[in-house]
Amino acid sequence: MATEPARPSLAVWKFASCDGCQLTLLDCGDALLTLAARLHIAAFPEASSMIEPGPYDVSLVEGSITTEEDAARIRDIRARSTLLVAIGACATAGGIQALRDLADVDEFRAQVYPHPEYVRSLATATPISAHVPVDLELHGCPIDRGQLVEVLGALLAGRKPDLPVHSVCAQ
C-alpha cells in the first residue's frame, strides 16, 4: 500500500504583539482550510496547547523582541526552522512597542507598573531580523490575508511567492 507523502510542517509563534497578524491567519476561512489539509500544523500556541518540538519546515513569527528570554527563544526557533517568515509591522520593524526606543524605558516602566523593579525587559523593541536571519518579511499592520495565503501556497508548491516588491525574500 502506498504511503502518503509527509506534509510540510508549519509553526506559528508570537512575541510582543497584539495577536492581530495571527488572527489574520485564522481569518483566512476556506483558504486556510484548504491549506491546512496540505500542511501539518506542528505548533500554534495561540490556537492549541499541543506543541511539537520540530524541526519545522516553515515558522511564521509575529511580534518584536523585547526581553532576553524572547531573544533566546527566537534563536531556538530559527535553529529548528528551515524557513522563517516574519509577519507584520511588529516582527519586521519593531511595531508600536519600538516607540520606547525613542525614550527612557525605565521612565515608561515606572509610569505603567506599580512595582517596576519586578519587570525586566530590553531597552529596545527590535524586529526579528535584528536577532536571526529571516527568509521572508510580510509587511502591514495587520498583514494582508491574500499575501499570507500566497506565501503558504507558494511554499507548498515549491515556488517563489508573488508579492509586492517591498516584501523582502531571500529565496
Binding site for ligand SF4 (CB under 6 A): 17-18, 20-21, 62, 88-90, 95-96, 141-142
Output the residue with the shortest Cβ distance to ligand SF4: 20
CA-wise closest residue to 10 among 91, 94, 84: 84
Minimum distance of ligand SF4 from residue 94's CB (angstroms): 10
| CA quadruple 111, 114, 116, 121: dihedral sign | negative
Residue 21 or 84 with smaller CB distance to ligand SF4: 21
Instruction: Point out which residues pair with 58 in neighbouring strands.
Output: 10, 83
Which CB atom, from 130 or from 141, has the smaller least distance to ligand SF4? 141
Shortest approach of ligand SF4 to residue 75 CB, angstroms? 21
Q: Give the whole-angstrom CA distance, residue 96 versus residue 90.
A: 7
Is there a contact between 137 and 167 (Cβ–Cβ < 8 Å)?
Answer: yes
Q: Nearest approach, Cβ of 83 to ligand SF4 (angstroms)?
A: 20
